[in-house]
């Protein structure tokens, strides 16, 4: 609650609160601020105080007023005096590469709102990832002699040979055929996706993406100048009719997919859909990059495009930030032999090589079975957490629009989740409203919840109270 002090008026405090959230991307571009009356009720101040605070935000160039609609967070380019490009009116037209500031969007992911469990986060809680085998693996590969060898020369361009062999064996368990020479290690899975995009695409190229989907991937592709072609994601896979029409109209160069435990719905691809996607790729000559970020918590024999295709038109991307050590930033890609040299050139231009020390430690964790056992413990813990979270969410009035699975739940709240997110932020909770998962921000009633961080009855009690007041 705002309190008037000698140093700051209520207006200054309110304007400062919104300004901080906008700059930290907790209020994203295009987000609508509460109406004057709603904001006054939420903050316990007079409407005139809200009007004055919004005027300050207007003067700072952080928001814009739209006649008869309210106040909206401005896009970065608009703040710099540039008009954003008009939206493409045709439902199957490419999305424009508008003024999306990808780095700002990413910074918002790391802003600490409070010490409470955060329902909108995309990772496991820190205590879930604690282990004794990780420090032991690092100690084992950092003897004085080994450390000197690592530090005195560049590593292997493709990545540590031992890790690539371990990854090849691991992929074989998923029926993805990749020799060590087809694997390139990267600085996290995000860099792997970036390497693929920079190698295969040029500014202006159309790229099919799943919608809803990962906001950072939308922002990354847009920042590279790509034209986004959003494909609605269904329970069994992408909308194949929309994909086929995109192929006929726009001749896309790439399709980016999360086949297994899709973010945010946790849907998994069906074999029938997978076969039809590969038929489209062959007929229309585009590549597929399959982001298997959640493989560690998925059934090993879930349908994967790379398995059915045998890494011909597909490129497999994986990483370990979600399950093991986010700050190690170890990811990898497995590609068709004909693409490896091109992809490697792109990696070398960006980072030369990747650090061998942590790659060797990770290889040890994989070879000794520690990663597998750790993943099994996480899956068991997540199953129990999901059961509790689903029960609490249903009791609070949420409706699951996708079958609960994996780390994320995709729920309908019945209220505007942009507005709900702002109100819950005042209570110390960061939500993930559904608008974040669209290529163009589309406010609605959906939101993503993290099953590992929504087992707290106190959150759901506060959530229900806020929803009743809306």
Look at residue 88 and tell me whether its pLDDT is greater than 60. Answer: no
Mention every residue, 6+ apart, whose C-beta is less than 8 A from residue 262: 210, 213, 233, 268
Query: Mean pLDDT over residues 367-385, rounded?
Result: 96
pLDDT at 94: 60
Instruction: Specify the pTM.
Output: 0.87
The answer to the question of residue 355 being in a domain is: yes
How far CA 268 is from CA of 75, 262, 273, 307, in Å, comes to 34, 6, 10, 14
What per-residue confidence (pLDDT) applies to 76? 59
pLDDT digits (tens, 9 = 90+) for 323-341: 998 889 999 999 999 999 9
What torsion, rounded to 10 degrees, do the Cα atoms 272, 276, 282, 283 define? 160
The answer on 287 and 171 residing in a single domain is yes
Based on the domain organization, do 281 and 424 belong to the same domain?
no
**Do the domain assignments include residue 26?**
yes
| Euclidean distance between CA atoms 164 and 359, whole angstroms | 9
- Please report how many Cα atoms fall inside a 13 Å half-sphere around the Cα of residue 71, on the Cβ side: 24
Torsion from C-alpha of 298, 299, 305, 310, nearest 10 degrees: 120
Query: Which of these three, 318, 350, 370, is where a domain ends?
Result: 370
What pLDDT is recorded for position 176?
Answer: 96
If asked whether residues 151 and 207 sit together in one domain, one would say: yes
Please report the pLDDT score of residue 96 as a whole number.
Answer: 47
Give the CATH number for residue 428: 3.90.1150.10
Report DSSP state, residue 463. H
Joined tokens for residue 130 = 């604690």
Same domain, 306 and 411: no
Last residue of a domain, one of 337, 353, 370: 370
* CATH number reported for the structural domain that contains residue 60 in this entry: 1.10.10.10
- The answer on 144 and 54 residing in a single domain is no
pLDDT value at 44 more than 70: yes
Residues 320 and 405 in one domain: no
Mean pLDDT of the chain: 89
> Containing domain of residue 380, as a range?
118-128+373-469
Do 303 and 163 fall within a single domain?
A: yes
Residue 1 lies in a domain: no
pLDDT over 80 (residue 111): no
The candidate with the shortest Cα–Cα distance to 256, out of 292, 282, 307, is: 292
Q: What is the mean pLDDT of residues 194-210?
A: 97
Of 354, 370, 386, the residue that ends a domain is 370
Using DSSP's 3-state secondary structure scheme, residue 368 falls into coil
User: What count of other Cβ atoms lies within 10 Å of the Cβ of residue 361?
Assistant: 24
Residues 231 and 343 in one domain: yes
Domain membership of residue 145 (yes or no) is: yes
Overall average pLDDT of the 361-388 stretch: 96
> What's the average model confidence in pLDDT over 65-76?
86
- Yes or no: say if 254 and 281 are a contact pair by the CB < 8 Å rule: no
d(CA 241, CA 214): 22
Is residue 384 a part of any domain in this protein? yes
Q: Give the span between the Cα atoms of 151 and 360, in whole angstroms.
A: 13
CATH number at residue 234: 3.40.640.10
* Mean pLDDT lowest among 20-29, 188-197, 453-462: 20-29
User: Residue 195: which pLDDT band, with cuts at 50, 70 and 90?
Assistant: very high
Which of 421, 363, 435 has the alpha carbon at shortest distance from 167? 363
Identify the band that residue 417 occupies on the pLDDT scale cut at 50, 70 and 90. Answer: very high
Residue 99: pLDDT above 50?
no
Question: Are 365 and 341 in a shared domain?
Answer: yes
107 in a structural domain? no
**Residue 191 placed within a domain:** yes
Judge whether residue 388 has pLDDT over 50: yes
Residues 241 and 210 reside in one and the same domain: yes
Region 253-260 average pLDDT = 97
**Residues 180 and 296 both lie in one domain:** yes
**Average pLDDT of the segment spanning 355-360:** 90
Whether residue 9 has pLDDT greater than 60? yes
pLDDT of the residue at 7: 80
Residue 265 lies in a domain: yes
Give the chain's domain count. 3
Are residue 124 and residue 175 in the same domain, yes or no? no
Mean pLDDT throughout 232-243? 97
The DSSP code sequence of 432-444 is: EEGGGGSSS----
| Residue 82 in this model has a pLDDT that exceeds 60 | no
Q: Are 119 and 460 in contact (CB under 8 A)?
A: no
């Amino acid at each position: 609650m705002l309190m008037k002090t000698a140093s700051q008026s209520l207006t200054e405090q309110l304007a400062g609160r919104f300004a901080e959230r906008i700059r930290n991307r907790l209020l994203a571009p295009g987000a609508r601020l509460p109406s004057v009356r709603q904001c006054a009720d939420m903050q316990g101040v007079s409407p005139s105080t809200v009007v004055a605070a919004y005027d300050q935000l207007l003067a700072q160039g952080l928001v814009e007023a739209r006649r008869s609609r309210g106040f909206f967070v401005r896009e970065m380019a608009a703040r710099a005096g540039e008009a954003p490009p008009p939206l493409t009116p045709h439902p199957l037209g490419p999305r424009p590469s508008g003024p999306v500031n990808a780095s700002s969007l990413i910074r918002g992911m790391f802003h600490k709102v409070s010490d409470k469990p955060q329902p909108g986060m995309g990772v496991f809680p820190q205590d879930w990832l604690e282990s004794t085998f990780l420090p032991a693996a690092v100690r084992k590969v950092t003897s004085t002699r080994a450390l000197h060898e690592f530090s005195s020369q560049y590593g292997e361009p493709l990545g540590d040979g031992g890790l690539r062999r371990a990854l090849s064996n691991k992929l074989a368990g998923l029926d993805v055929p990749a020799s060590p020479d087809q694997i390139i290690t990267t600085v996290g899975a995000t860099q792997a996706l970036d390497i693929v995009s920079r190698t295969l695409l040029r500014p202006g190229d159309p790229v099919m993406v799943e919608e809803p989907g990962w906001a950072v991937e939308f922002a990354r592709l847009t920042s590279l100048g790509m034209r986004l072609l959003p494909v609605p994601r269904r329970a069994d896979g992408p909308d194949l009719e929309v994909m086929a029409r995109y192929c006929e109209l726009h001749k896309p160069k790439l399709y980016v997919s999360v086949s297994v435990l899709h973010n945010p719905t946790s849907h998994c691809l069906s074999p029938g859909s997978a076969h039809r996607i590969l038929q489209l790729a062959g007929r229309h000559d585009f590549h597929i990059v399959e982001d298997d970020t959640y493989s560690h918590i998925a059934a090993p024999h879930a349908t994967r495009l790379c398995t059915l295709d045998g890494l011909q038109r597909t490129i497999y991307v994986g990483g370990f930030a979600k399950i093991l050590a986010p700050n190690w930033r170890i990811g990898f890609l497995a590609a068709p032999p004909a693409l490896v040299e091109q992809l490697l050139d792109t990696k070398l231009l960006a980072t030369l090589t990747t650090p061998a020390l942590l790659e060797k430690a990770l290889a040890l964790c994989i070879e000794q079975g520690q990663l597998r056992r750790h993943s099994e413990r996480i899956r068991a813990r997540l199953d129990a957490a999901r059961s509790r979270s689903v029960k609490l969410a249903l009791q609070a009035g949420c409706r699951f629009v996708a079958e609960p699975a994996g780390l994320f739940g995709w729920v309908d709240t019945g209220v505007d989740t942009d507005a709900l997110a702002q109100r819950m932020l005042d209570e110390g909770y960061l939500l993930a409203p559904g608008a974040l998962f669209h290529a163009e921000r589309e406010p609605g009633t959906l939101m993503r919840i993290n099953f590992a961080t929504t087992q707290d009855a106190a959150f759901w009690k506060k959530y229900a109270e806020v929803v009743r007041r809306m």
